[in-house]
Amino acid sequence: MFRTVLFFGFLTGILLGVGWFLGGFFGMTVALFLSLLINFISYWYSDKIVLTMYGAKETNDPELNKIVENLAFQAGIPKPKVYIVPTKIPNAFATGRSPKHSSVAVTEGLLELNKDEIEGVLSHEIAHIRNHDILISTAAATISGAISYLAQIGYYSLFFRDSREGGNLFGLLFVIIFAPLAALLVRLAISRSFEYRADYTGAIISKKPLALASALEKISSITKNHPMRGSAATSHLWIVNPFKSDWFTNLFSTHPPIEERIKRLKKMAV
């Protein structure tokens, strides 16, 4: 809870600073009301925003729901809703504000892995829910996504605005200030230890560390050759970073090396 309060407090501080920079006391007052609105939306609706962002649809697939139900039972949490993301690239993420209000989303491509590997991946996502990682992760994705969007607008203004209009200066300020702030927001909220802990907890829940290790290896290999499209600020949600590696995406990188994750999982099976 302390981490969540700190995160939303940091967000409010950023917005107040931006408001002061743009409009003095009046701008800061507007930013205060805006921050309260964003905090409210982030708490109650950030999961729906992320699911909508990737076109995820709730599924009644009996086999997939049964796997999730069994894993949730083993983890001692209510069964999350299950969603399908329409892309052939294998991956998955968990979202929601609490174990009682949670969802897991898997891509169509993930369903092409074998059953043990699917179970391994889902156990990792169930572990995130059990470990109460999902609220802060989902809120960080939506809020940082909005900030990074502003940064990208500023970046493109460098090329399409007349320098005499001050476009280059303000564009540069957006890139220099807002993109790192958005990235910092994610990094403060999301630790690399989250993934290690979810791998470990998930492997215990499913009792199949090698299946999870195999799935991670396959997902990573496919993603390198076929990266997804989406907001870099949501990369930490996915079990493997699904986006093409570049300077902007790397700002938001919170995943530990896949090789180290696989190594740790294989040690658990010994």
Work out the angle at residue 80's Cα, subtended by the Cα atoms of residues 79 and 82, and round it to the nearest 5 degrees. 120
pLDDT exceeds 60 at position 167 = no
Find all residues with CB under 8 Å of 198, minimum gap 6, and list them: 124, 125, 127, 128, 131, 133
- Measured between alpha carbons, how far is 204 from 125 in angstroms, rounded to an integer? 13
Higher pLDDT, 250 or 134: 134
| Closest to 94 in 3D by CA, of 42, 49, 138 | 138
DSSP structural state of residue 177 = I
High-pLDDT (> 70) share of the chain, %: 73
Between the two ends of the chain, the Cα-to-Cα distance in Å is 36
Determine whether 58 is an active site residue.
no
Alpha-carbon gap, residue 191 to 3, rounded angstroms: 11
What's the whole-number mean pLDDT along residues 166-181? 58
Alpha-carbon 230 to chain mean position: 11
Top mean pLDDT of 31-40, 43-52, 155-164 is at 43-52
pLDDT at 86 over 70: yes
**Which of the pair, 250 or 130, is modelled with greater confidence?**
130
Relative to beta strand 92-98, strand 81-85 is unpaired
Give me the residue label for tokens 């294989």: 266
pLDDT in tens, 124-150: 999 999 998 888 777 777 766 666 665
Q: What is the pLDDT of residue 184?
A: 65
Give the active site residue among 117, 119, 125, 195.
Answer: 125
Distances (CA, A) of 39 to 45, 49, 122, 139, 223: 10, 14, 29, 9, 33
List, for residues 180-217, the tens digit of each pLDDT value.
666 666 666 666 788 999 999 999 999 999 999 999 99
Average pLDDT, the chain: 82
d(CA 207, CA 159): 53
| Residue 107 scores a pLDDT above 60 | yes
DSSP label at residue 243 = B
Bigger pLDDT: 28 or 195? 195
Predicted pLDDT at 88: 95
Between 224 and 177, where is the model more confident? 224
238, pLDDT greater than 70: yes
For residues 257-270, give the mean pLDDT. 93
The residue among 78 and 154 whose pLDDT is bigger is 78
